[in-house]
Amino acid sequence: MSPGLLIGVLFALIGAQVARLAAPRRLGYPVALALAAAGVVAGELVALGLHTGGPPLGPLHPLADAAGMVILEVAGALVLPAPGARRGRA
């Protein structure tokens, strides 16, 4: 397995944990994990496309990955309903 893939998985796991600590009732863990993984991938695509993203850590760009995770997790927390939230009847 590639070391870059392992570092990316580690970033996604840490990002999901930070999201759960920052807003424990806002996102469920599977949703936070999916958004963090998508953020790592999006951050890498932006870093590769724009040739930016801060200093590389192996094949990854941690600043771009962190920015991607933050953007997607904040957007997910604002758009998605909280787990267990009651929906009104129409």
Phi, psi for residue 86 in degrees, rounded to 5: -85, 135
The rounded mean pLDDT for the chain is 82
Q: Give residue 53's pLDDT.
A: 65
Q: Domain limits of the chain?
A: 3-79
Q: Residue 13 pLDDT > 80, yes or no?
A: yes
pTM of the entire structure? 0.77
Between residues 59 and 37, the one the model is more confident about: 37
Q: Give residue 23's pLDDT.
A: 79
pLDDT tens across 52-85, in order? 766 777 777 888 888 888 888 888 888 887 776 6
